[in-house]
Amino acid sequence: MTPEITDSHCHLDFPDFEGGLPEIIANAEAAGVTRMVTICTKLRLEPQVRAIAETYAPVFYAAGTHPMSAADEPMATVDDLIVLSQHPKFVGIGETGLDYHYTSDSAEVQKQSLRIHIAAARETGLPLIIHARAADDDMARILAEEHTNGAYTCVMHCFSSSQALAHAALDLGFYLSMSGITAFPKSQELRDIFASVPMDRLLVETDAPYLAPPPHRGKRNEPAFTAHTAQRAAETMGVDYAAFAEQTQKNFDRLFAKAAAYTVPA
């Protein structure tokens, strides 16, 4: 039996997959990837992302304003996100966060957007999906400040930041997600960080179509390749693949409880 796993973060609405989603979904299921969460990064595109989740049984979705788009898109409101969250397959808030690598000039707008998404996560009880790049200090500070205002759940998607931010997130009860980056040969420092993370706080993802793990590095990523990342992750954690897959499934079910509870309408 192929162990079952979940791709907790992908972008199936991106042009890279246009016209090919039936094959992509079939590839995923053949690899044991029984669920996928496709992420809407601009709220005006939510109808297209929702339609994918409605069309394909294994696909759930989340929506938010990506930090790199925060200055160019209309500012989301908490009410906007709460309304979207009523859909039965809408299972997370985001991705949101801070990215100072390419878009540091919009830092203040990004912070405002992030706090709005946190408030929506708190109100809905759905997990916050965080993108963090080159903004560790501000990210740790805002996540902690907002947590004192009221608890919420969160996953640090495609985590590739510092040990300090990893610890800050774990101290708040959050989860860290392992992407294909953790399987790159030169990512030993990142693997060392993950090796110290409790097994019950780990998720796996592709961030497809980006960051394909070996042996597909440099090619279009797809949810099926979650299996390659998870196999390498199991080695990092010092457990066999079946045990790792089972644990990450439990973790996903705990964090994305709405997805775990979902039943196909009769």
The parent domain of residue 191 ranges over 5-261
pLDDT band, residue 27 (cuts 50/70/90) = very high
Please tell me the chain's helix, strand, coil percentages from 3-state DSSP, rounded to the nearest 5.
50, 15, 30
In a domain, 140, yes or no: yes
pLDDT for 266 beyond 80: no
Identify the CA nearest to 122 among candidates 98, 146, 105, 101. Answer: 146
| pTM reported for the whole predicted model | 0.97
Mean pLDDT of the 37-49 span? 98
DSSP state of 208: B
Q: At what angle do helices 226-237 and 241-255 cross, to 10 degrees?
A: 110
In a domain, 266, yes or no: no
Identify the CA nearest to 117 among candidates 87, 88, 154, 144. Answer: 154
Mean pLDDT of the 181-201 span? 97
Mean pLDDT of the 94-100 span? 98
Average pLDDT, the chain: 97
Identify the CA nearest to 110 among candidates 135, 85, 146. Answer: 135
Tokens representing residue 35 in the block: 């669920």
State whether residue 232 is helix, strand or coil: helix
In this prediction, residue 237 carries a pLDDT of 96
Q: Into how many domains does the chain fold?
A: 1
**CATH at residue 241:** 3.20.20.140
In a domain, 148, yes or no: yes
Ranges of beta strands (E only) in 47-174 are 59-63, 90-99, 128-133, 154-156
pLDDT band, residue 1 (cuts 50/70/90) = confident
In a domain, 156, yes or no: yes
pLDDT band, residue 265 (cuts 50/70/90) = confident
Residue bearing tokens 């500070």: 141
Cα–Cα distance measured from residue 15 to residue 209, given in angstroms and rounded to the nearest whole number: 9
Tokens representing residue 171 in the block: 């101290």
In a domain, 230, yes or no: yes
Would you say 168 and 135 are in contact if contact means Cβ atoms under 8 Å apart? Answer: no
